[in-house]
Amino acid sequence: MQVRTIQYDTSEYRQELELRNRLLRVPLGLDIYAEDLPAEREQLHYGLFDGELLVGCAIAILKSDQHAKIRQMAVDTGLQAQGLGRQLLTAAEDDLRQRGIQWLELAARIEAVGFYEKLGYQTVGDEFVEVGIPHRHMEKAL
């Protein structure tokens, strides 16, 4: 398994959209293709690949020179709980650190909070609802 960046509007990006829709949107009755995808041109896309097949993804929005927000983290069904999420997020963090990013934030689905805690993130503030389900804000200093 290899982590590499994905360029916007490529066949790899289209694989990313399919994975995100299948794992993060369709189960909630939502459609990724109805979202503001052109805004994603400016965001950093990380893919976890098994050869040419995308099996995991994460996106970083650069909020300032030192601060980024992680979103849309997912590992394909059947490959979860094997350390791949850790591999993917650690590689994304390493890349962001090299770009000068010093702290990260994200909105974690409640059932994923334990995963991010294992990776060193801390919850901040109260539970809130996003895409119709409960989340917590989390942060990490790089």
Ligand X SMILES: CC(C)(COP(=O)(O)OP(=O)(O)OC[C@H]1O[C@@H](n2cnc3c(N)ncnc32)[C@H](O)[C@@H]1OP(=O)(O)O)[C@@H](O)C(=O)NCCC(=O)NCCS
Task: Give the sign of the dihedral formed by CA 48, CA 14, CA 12, CA 6.
Answer: negative
Which of helix, strand or coil describes residue 43? Answer: coil
- The verdict on 130 binding ligand X (CB under 6 A) reads no
| Strands (E) located in 20-102 | 44-50, 53-62, 67-75
Beta strand 53-62 with 133-141 is unpaired
Q: Using alpha carbons, select from 37, 19, 117 the residue that is nearest to residue 73.
A: 19
- The verdict on 3 binding ligand X (CB under 6 A) reads no
# residues near ligand X by CB under 6 A: 19
Site for ligand X in 20-39 (CB under 6 A): 23-24
Interacting span for ligand X (CB under 6 A) from 12-20, 29-37, 59-67, 80-88: 80-88
Beta strand 44-50 with 53-62 is antiparallel
Residue whose CB is less far from ligand X, 13 or 115:
115
- The verdict on 111 binding ligand X (CB under 6 A) reads yes
Interacting span for ligand X (CB under 6 A) from 4-12, 35-43, 113-121, 124-132: 113-121
Residues interacting with ligand X, by CB under 6 A?
A: 23-24, 73-75, 80-86, 108-109, 111-112, 114-115, 118
